[in-house]
Structure 1
Amino acid sequence: MAYGKGTASVHVPEGNLDKIFRVHPWEPLVQPTQAVEQSLLNPIGTPPLQELAQGRRDAVVVISDITRPVPNRLILPPILETLEQSGIPREKILILIATGMHRPNEGEELIELVGEEIAEKYRVENHSGTDREAHVDLGISEEGVPLLVDRRYIEADLRILTGLIEPHLMAGYSGGRKGVLPGVCSLETMKVMHGYKVIQHPLTVVGRLDDNPFHLTALRLTRQIGADFIVNVTLNERRELTGVFSGDLDQAHRAGVAELEKFVVDEIEQPVDIVVGCSGGYPLDQTFYQCIKGMVAAKEILKPGGTIVFASHLGEGMGSEPFQQLVNELTTPQAFLESLEGPDYRQLDQWMLQDHCNILLHAGEIQVFSEHLSKDWLNKALVVPIESLDAGLERAFHRHGPEARVAVMPQGPYVIARTMEPMQV
């Protein structure tokens, strides 16, 4: 099982094992740098980046934050070189980290994100979703979404979004429009887009774009705000570059999603009693807030009342202070969800706890193995601390009996696990 920058082991009896879900074998690009360069020259649905950049006074290049394993050291140099060759001075190029509502990435973390050379030679700055004055108010959309967008993005003459296309628990797939929304939008925007009603909608789910209210609204609003060019990539299980999809916000993103789906979607005939899962390792399993995404993936193939046996490194603890406060106040999942129904918004980061509570109501028990987060915090999150995955599995067999069916997800939310038979809830 992926665990931090290493692995955690589990031993599942062969007679109980129904399936191991993995990303299907996917060969990396032989010449990844050349692939990025060719993608900029031959994009999908737009003129080449070099042509778009000519005559522009400045540019913003939006990148994902440290929670996403985007190969920035590979994709940024060709983009930056193209911009400079097209006449945009280096000092007029801003690399903007799309933190959304996450914390800033600074110091050694910033160097890990973009590489030492880019960190030294270019202006790299963090978005701050809670700094209202740093945003331009574009009014309220027809869906009732307040549009407050990072001023540096709005004022840039050329806007480029980069990102990784991977399964996403709300948006269907990451990448594309998510560079703007939530990437460089204000908390006021996300109060609605990550509000109770949007998350509880039955089509706000992983692996779905069509009819997904989050995706459709985010795409329309990002088009309204403006994005000139995207560079999205896909990775295999070894995090090697497998595809580059550049050009139009929707067309290039859709092309990448179509390719990704061939490798990350897998099925099992019916739900199982026990799912052994994780959050796919570093960087997604560093906080409890982020690791919930792996639990959401496991829920999709778990019988109601089943058990999730989960491994997560959690080296950075629970997550933000607002998230910790919400967990401290958590009594029951029902009570928390009811607290959101009225105002639709209580506090920053409530959305992930909302998803966590939905999983708690579906599963009979969630067990978590972590060598770094205290049992006290795990208990507050209403999960059962375990000493090892094997110990957790033994406990799960005690709950469900020796014939219990087990599925294993060693790569967590990077795989979309589905059942052939509809889930009986």
Structure 2
Amino acid sequence: MLTTLPYHKTQLTLPIEPGPKVRILTPSNHDYTPEGAQEEIVRRALANPIASPPLSELVKGKQNIVIISSDHTRPVPSHINIPLMLEEIKKGNPEAKVTILVATGMHRPTTPEELVDKFGQKVVDEVPIVNHLSEVDEDMIFLGTLPSGGELWVNKVAVEADLLLADGFIEPHFFAGFSGGRKSVLPGVASRKTVMYNHNSTFISSPYARTGNLENNPIHRDMLFAAEKAKLAFILNVVINAKKEIIYAVAGDRVEAHLKGCQFVRDLVAATPIPGDIVISTNGGYPLDQNLYQAVKGMTAAEASAKAGAVIIMVAGCSDGIGGEAFYHQLADYPSPQAAMDTFLATSKEDTPADQWESQILCRLLIKHKIIMVTDPKWAQAVRDMHLDYAETLEKALAKAKAVKGEEAEITVIPDGVGVIVG
């Protein structure tokens, strides 16, 4: 039985067969069978909102309704979610003006082609869509001070809505605990200065800012506050499988519905570590593996199942490159990961530069482990500049790893590093 690993929009075949020294780490419920087709699952969630009136009731009397929706870096099946949300809105208030605000966070704007791919041509033609631009200060409104002390600035399109809604999905997140819910506001549609304060080095270093954990998580605490101040009234969040198909959905209150969805994900994807001398991970394929920046998430799953000094092999297509100049230079401009880490930890919360949080986590991994990237050859030099190793194929990566750990090394394979909670 050969194992395949998602890579961009295709797959790579693991060149070794599972056995006593090659073990596959997947959640115990990875073969979960959903109750009904995708659209049926979403309709059922909307018909049974958690701690909230139905959406068709909430929209009554509202004239300016805004739906925050994830951007091109997230595999949210918005082409299913958004039309069903619009259907509920029209049922309760056919005259309401609806705007979609794309939660780009700190990412680049979603292109017209990507909008069509994400929402479908009909939605793009009929509904105004606005890309959030975090660096445009005049687009933001001040909403107070975060529990952590930072300033909360949120996109005025969201703040000025009569009713603020959000479409998204829930998966394990490597420092916010889980995606979805409150993350639609912060970092989704918050200003650059707010995001950078929330993602400061002290919070990223917190032992509570880890995959699958919300309790005492300082990043999550700020995000909850931001969603409350922005008056996020209703969410539709889905859970997807490895094929990017909806298998579960929650709708309703931004806190209660999200918590129920998080519990479902925790029960679904929790996995016991299989300590390995060599750990192979992925980012679940496109769109989550479109750059090295995003691929750090899958590496943290490998970290959670790696022996001391293990070699991590990360498989990611990186069709969109490294993930930004700032991210590149935050590692490449330093002689070692430790030198970069020392700089990050000495940076004040107010002065957190863009992408430092991702660089900090990557440095944490590189200080403990050798990391080999299997990706497009065009990024080989950039990968090496950032203190990772590079291999063009899985075969070559394994040969390099075994040269370090020996031919008898125990190998752990994580086919979907962003779809598992290891611990």
Interval containing the TM-score (normalised by the shorter chain) = over 0.9
- 1:351-389 CA-partner distances (Å, limit 9, x unpaired): 1111110110121x1111112533210111111111311
Q: Deviations over 1:177-205 (max 9, x none)?
A: 00011001011111211111110111100
**Residues 27-68 of structure 1: CA deviation (Å, up to 9, x unaligned):** 134233233233223200011111111011210001111111
- Shifted more, 197-206 versus 393-402: the winner is 393-402
Normalising by structure 1, report the TM-score. 0.94
Structure 1 partner of 2:354: 348
Instruction: Please give the alpha-carbon distance, in whole angstroms, between the structure 2 residues aligned to 1:117 and 1:372.
Output: 38
Q: Say which SS state the counterpart of residue 249 (structure 1) adopts.
A: coil
Look up the equivalent residue of 1:349 and give its one-letter code. D
Unpaired runs of 5+ residues, structure 2, are none
CA contact (8 A) 2:371 2:388 kept: yes
Which one of the candidate residues 2, 23, 26 is aligned to 2:6?
A: 2
Amino acid at match of 2:113: E
2:312 pairs with 1:308: yes
RMSD: 1.6
Give the drift of 1:263.
1.9
2:62 counterpart letter in structure 1: R
**Paired amino acid for 2:298:** G
Kept in 2: contact 1:28–1:240 (CA 8 A): no
| 1:61-112 alpha-carbon deviations (Å, 9 max, x no partner) | 011111111111111112112212322536x210010011011002211111
Aligned equivalent of 1:325: 329
Q: For 1:297, give the aligned amino acid.
A: A
Contact 1:315 1:373 in 2 (8 A): no
Question: Structure 1 pair 295/99, CA: closer, same or farther in 2 (3 Å)?
Answer: same
Q: Give the alignment of 1:81-92 within 5 angstroms.
A: 81-87=87-93, 89=95, 92=97
Q: 4+ residue stretches of structure 1 with deviation over 4 A?
A: none
Contact 2:56 2:93 (8 Å CA) reproduced: no
Give the match for residue 101 of structure 2: 96
Quick check: 1:21–1:417 contact (8 Å CA) kept in 2? Answer: no
5 Å matches for 1:260-271?
260-268=265-273, 271=275
State the partner residue of 1:296: 300
SS in 1 for 2:153: strand
Match of 2:386 among 375, 381, 398: 381
Distance in 2 between the 1:110 and 1:329 partners?
A: 35
- Shift in Å at residue 327 of structure 1? 3.8
SS where residue 309 of structure 1 aligns?
Answer: strand
> CA, structure 1 residues 41+163, in 2 after alignment: closer, same or farther (shift >3 Å)?
same
Shift of 1:346: 4.5
After superposition, where does 1:183-194 map in structure 2 within 5 Å? 183-194=188-199
Conservation of the 8 A alpha-carbon contact between 2:69 and 2:166: yes
- Are 2:251 and 1:246 equivalent residues in the alignment? yes
Tell me if structure 2 keeps the 8 A contact 1:273–1:307. yes
Counterpart residue type for residue 25 of structure 1: D
Q: Distance in 2 between matches of 1:170 and 1:141?
A: 18
**Structure 1 pair 371–53 and aligned structure 2 pair: CA distance change class (3 A):** same
Out of 175-184 and 205-214, give the one that drifted further. Answer: 205-214
Q: What residue in structure 2 maps to residue 274 of structure 1? A: 278
The percentage of aligned residue pairs carrying the same residue is 33
CA contact (8 A) 1:307 1:367 kept: yes
Q: How does 1:77-156 map to 2 (within 5 A)?
A: 77-87=83-93, 89=95, 92-156=97-161
2:398 is matched with: 393
CA–CA distance in 1 between the matches of 2:103 and 2:265?
A: 23
Which ranges of structure 1 fall in alignment gaps of 5 or more residues? 419-425
Q: Match for residue 422 of structure 1?
A: none
Residue correspondences, number: 415
**1:290-331 CA-partner distances (Å, limit 9, x unpaired):** 111111111111112110012111111111232233344232
Secondary structure of the residue aligned to 1:177 is helix
In the alignment, what sits opposite 2:58? 52
Query: Which of 210, 219, 225 is the aligned partner of 1:220?
Result: 225
Structure 1 distance, partners of 2:192, 2:334, is 22
Q: Deviation of residue 3 (structure 1)?
A: 0.2
Query: Does 1:205 pair with 2:225?
Result: no
Structure 2 equivalent of residue 360 of structure 1: 366
Q: Distance in 2 between matches of 1:88 and 1:273?
A: 59
Match of 1:27 among 33, 41, 54: 33
- 1:392 counterpart letter in structure 2: A
For residues 111 and 264 of structure 2, the distance between their equivalents in structure 1, rounded to whole angstroms, comes to 33
Contact 1:63–1:95 (8 Å) recurs in 2: yes
> Partner of 2:408 in structure 1?
403
Given that 1:314 and 1:373 are in contact with CA atoms closer than 8 Å, whether structure 2 keeps it comes out as no
| Equivalent position amino acid for 2:364 in 1 | N
User: TM-score, normalization: structure 2?
Assistant: 0.94
Q: Which amino acid aligns with 1:353?
A: S
